[in-house]
Amino acid sequence: MARTRTRDDIIAVAADLFAHAGFKGTSLQDIATGVGCSKATLLYHFDSKEAILAALVAPAAAELAELTARLAALEGEPAREAAIDGFVDLVLRYRREAGLIYYGSLDVLMTPAFADAQPLIENLCAAFTAGSAEPTDRIAAEVLLAGICSVAIDKPDDDVLRSALVAVAKRALLTTRMKD
């Protein structure tokens, strides 16, 4: 039980440090100090900072994989609707992880922990565009993904926020379709 608690403590402290100092700006020693353990103890649980990051994002990545699997069975508007609803719900459930990705951007996205997420994000963008190959639609989808992450990070969790995020995303994507 103590091992699980220490492991969970390492992940929680790392998440806070990554959010404040960035992934690159956080050392293993910073994490160990924050947990109140030695660096050797930290390395017993995780062999690298990237392994900690992978453990941190694993639950959100698993749900993203489930979402994109559900979206694979849909096309056009039904795919877009399900993608928007599903992504907003996912971000609201995993705000800390979304913030880490949003604010850590390239440092975080270039780590091996995110290698499997890239195709999932591509599939999510395709669903947001309802399968459109138009560059404007693709850019709109990417902006919306980042925007949803950004806005959700520090707002209170309530139904108004969820409804507003979904409505804004649908409105923005409708606008790009109307310009074609």
| DSSP-assigned letters across all residues of 109-130 | HTSGGGTTHHHHHHHHHHHHTT
* For residue 83, pLDDT beyond 70: yes
CA dihedral defined by 123, 126, 131, 133, rounded to 10 degrees? Answer: -120
- Averaged pLDDT of the chain: 86
Residue listed under structure tokens 């707002």: 155
The answer on 78 and 7 residing in a single domain is no
- pLDDT tens digits for 132-162? 889 999 899 989 988 898 888 777 777 889 9
Share of the chain above pLDDT 90, in %: 48
Distances from the Cα of 60 to the Cαs of 5, 44, 108, in angstroms? 20, 24, 14
The answer on 123 and 170 residing in a single domain is yes
Contact call for residues 67 and 90 (beta carbons, < 8 A): yes
Residue 15 CB partners (closer than 8 Å, separation 6+): 56, 96, 97, 100
The answer on 163 and 81 residing in a single domain is yes
How large is the average pLDDT for residues 47-55? Answer: 91
- Cα gap 31→52, rounded to integer Å: 10
The answer on 124 and 168 residing in a single domain is yes
Residue 143 CB partners (closer than 8 Å, separation 6+): 172
The tally of domains found in the chain comes to 2
More confident residue, 18 or 113: 18
* For residue 180, pLDDT beyond 50: no
The answer on 126 and 102 residing in a single domain is yes
Per-residue confidence (pLDDT) for residue 96, from 0 to 100: 80
- Cα gap 178→4, rounded to integer Å: 52
Residue 52 in domain: no
Per-residue confidence (pLDDT) for residue 165, from 0 to 100: 93
The answer on 64 and 41 residing in a single domain is no
Determine the structural domain holding residue 10 and report its residue range. 1-47
* For residue 1, pLDDT beyond 50: no
The answer on 71 and 91 residing in a single domain is yes
Share of the chain above pLDDT 70, in %: 88
The answer on 36 and 1 residing in a single domain is yes
- Cα gap 97→57, rounded to integer Å: 6
Q: CATH number for the domain including 41?
A: 1.10.10.60
Residue 15 in domain: yes
